[in-house]
């Protein structure tokens, strides 16, 4: 999911961060830091932040529908709705007329739900990080964080290469 319409001034930084090798190096290096060593405020922010932002963003969009309209205008038409979605929306509009309260509730629940899913996945990632390191230590792998960093870097490199191949 890369945006290739970056301004020329930031293109060098963008190229460095979107190339497969720098992505692999950065991912591998960050994996060397155990999640248990993160400050408590950072761990809690990473876990609870997506839910808070999801709900707060939904409340903002509910309170100011013109902001949401401006954002959807900027999206390419292919991203606004799936093919055939207009027909489904038209049929749904005929059968159920949503009230403003129902629209607001739906938007807030959706934003909070997506944020909660991201929060659960982040907490699961922290848990998995700890369990993987303990498993590697149990089977006497020397320098388990380095092994984890190498594997994570390799996975990031492979995914970036696949992404490049799809975009080419």
Q: Is residue 12 in a domain?
A: no
Q: Is residue 66 in a domain?
A: yes
Q: What is the pLDDT of residues 100-153, one digit of tens each?
A: 778 888 888 999 999 999 999 999 999 999 999 999 999 999 999 999 999 999
Q: Is residue 28 in a domain?
A: no
The residue with tokens 């909070």 is 112
What is the DSSP-derived secondary structure letter of residue 147? Answer: H
Number of structural domains the chain divides into: 1
User: Which residues have CB under 8 Å from 6's CB, separation 6+?
Assistant: 14
Residue 98 belongs to domain spanning: 34-141
Q: Is residue 24 in a domain?
A: no
Q: What is the pLDDT of residues 31-47, one digit of tens each?
A: 999 999 999 999 999 99
pTM for the full predicted model:
0.69
Q: What is the pLDDT of residues 2-12, one digit of tens each?
A: 455 545 555 66
């Amino acid at each position: 999911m890369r945006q290739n319409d970056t301004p020329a001034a930031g293109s060098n930084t963008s190229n460095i961060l979107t190339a497969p090798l720098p992505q692999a190096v950065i991912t591998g290096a960050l994996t060397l830091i155990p999640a248990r060593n993160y400050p408590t405020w950072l761990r809690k922010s990473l876990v609870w932040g997506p839910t808070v932002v999801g709900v707060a963003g939904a409340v903002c969009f509910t309170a100011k529908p013109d902001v949401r309209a401006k954002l959807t205008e900027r999206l390419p038409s292919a991203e606004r709705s799936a093919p055939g979605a207009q027909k489904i929306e038209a049929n749904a509009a005929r059968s159920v007329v949503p009230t403003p309260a129902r629209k607001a509730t739906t938007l807030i629940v959706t934003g909070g739900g997506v944020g909660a899913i991201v929060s659960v996945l982040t907490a699961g990632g922290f848990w998995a990080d700890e369990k993987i390191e303990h498993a590697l230590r149990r089977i006497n792998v020397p320098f388990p964080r380095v092994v984890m960093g190498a594997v994570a870097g390799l996975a990031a490199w492979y995914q970036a290469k696949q992404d490049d191949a799809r975009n080419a």
